[in-house]
Amino acid sequence: MMRTTRLQSLQMAAALLCALTAGQALAQAATQAEPSAATGGGFLPPASANAKVVDSIQVVVNDEVITRNEVAGRVVQVAQNMKARNAQMPDPATMERQVLEAMIVERAQLQLAKEMGVKVDDRTLDATIGRIAENQKLSVQDMRNQMEKEGMPFAQFREDIRNEIMMQRLREHEVDSKIQVSEAEIDTYMAAAKAAEADRIEVDISQILVRVPENASPEQIAARAARAEEVMRQLRTGADFARMASTYSDAPDALKGGEIGWRDADRLPPMFSTELRKLEAGQVTPVLKTNVGFHILKLAGKRPLGGETEKSVVEQTHARHILIKVTPTMTEGEVKRKLLELKEKMDNNAGTFEDLARLHSQDGSASKGGDLGWLYPGDTVPEFETAMNDLKPGQVSDVIQSPFGFHLIQVIGRKSEDVTQQKERNVARQVLRDRKMQEAMEDWMRQVRDRAYVEFREEQ
């Protein structure tokens, strides 16, 4: 109960920060949509101040619709983001096609999440928005005022964040939780990594992906292969990779010019890593076939990665506690007085910490005299850890409060442990998970898209 899932928290924080960035970009795009059209951006038609915008259905995804106004708004958002990065933009028709495809995949994922009963209650949503505001060094009200001033309704922002959490939970359930890495795989990887330590590199890469539908016919596969070869032909004759990616790639990073960024070569699928190691900066791989489709990778740069592993030593604390919770029949003041009485008994040798914990503590450690075992940094909530770290062995804390209730804490002992080998194995496990994750995620997203009923509507 006291332990926290640190990795999941970090993953969720990263996803939510991405959502915030997208939300801010959408707000800016909404306020700047009319000037963009007026200056010939080509993404929205000019409109008079009194004109009514007539909306219509552009595509049906299963039993839901995506309207033309929704697509136009997202196109403006993406265009603003690309301009901010000085990225080359494709022609308007290609831009709309790429954006619409991304919206179809997103809508299909949200529908699947709802079918599977994935929900985000208002309490979780409010807490998440509070953390986002805190990361921006704003109060929630200040963040709300800023968004509405920029033209983005706060209710829309809330639903965007709710959807982002739902899709994150869906992906964790459907992909993350099903990726297994065996101890034998870790042993094999570590042996190979040790032998090749001097050759470890990081690569800065971009990609173009020509996706092959699930259960594709030989004719479909041949057509997709031909498309990839045509892209390759244009690249060989001097075409710009980023522009070709934004025009032809089916990957989620297409409108970023296919840019993936720096990656440890060992964390990429072995086929990619092998081909990239043969290249110099600026060169591209041949067309590479995977079960997802046809890939072309560009190497923007590479640099050595490695060196001797630093020794990792952490201090562990052996502690025990007495936990008493506030209940409808026991107020906060009564809980504090009860714990002070117990501490006074210890001070007067009228009872040991262990015996009193067995009698009074209200958690699973009570039967063990409150013993929590050896704790690593981060194993307990911050309030508990801070108070515990201030104690000397044998010392009992004052009454302290945590999200679980009120505690007395006693430190039994401390020791330092070399966790270098454990850390190396954890790193190896994550590397192997990353390798499997990239392909598994692309494959899963393809399946969700291909299984959805999608009907495009002609503009009337």
Q: Are 405 and 324 in contact (CB under 8 A)?
A: yes
Q: Which two tokens stand for residue 39?
A: 């200056």
Decide if domain 202-304 falls under CATH 3.10.50.40.
Answer: yes
218-238 pLDDT tens trace? 999 999 999 999 999 999 999
87-101 pLDDT tens trace? 878 888 988 999 999
Topology of the domain covering 314-417: Chitinase A; domain 3 (3.10.50)
Predicted local confidence at residue 272, as pLDDT: 92
**Identical fold, 57-176 and 202-304:** no
Query: CATH homologous superfamily for 57-176?
Result: Porin chaperone SurA, peptide-binding domain (1.10.4030.10)
Please give the single-letter amino acid code of residue 102: A
Q: Is 185 exposed, middle or buried (0-12, 13-18, 19+ CB in 10 A)?
A: middle
* Helix 420-451 with 183-195: angle, nearest 10 deg: 110
Q: Which two tokens stand for residue 265?
A: 């070569």
Predicted local confidence at residue 6, as pLDDT: 31
Please give the single-letter amino acid code of residue 254: A
Q: Where are the domains of the chain?
A: 57-176, 202-304, 314-417
Tell me how crowded residue 403 is: count the other CB atoms within 10 A of its CB: 9
Ranges in the chain, pLDDT < 50: 1-52
pTM of the predicted protein model:
0.46
What is the greatest pairwise CA distance in the chain? 88
Tell me which residue has tokens 């496990």.
Answer: 429
Q: Which two tokens stand for residue 82?
A: 């690309």
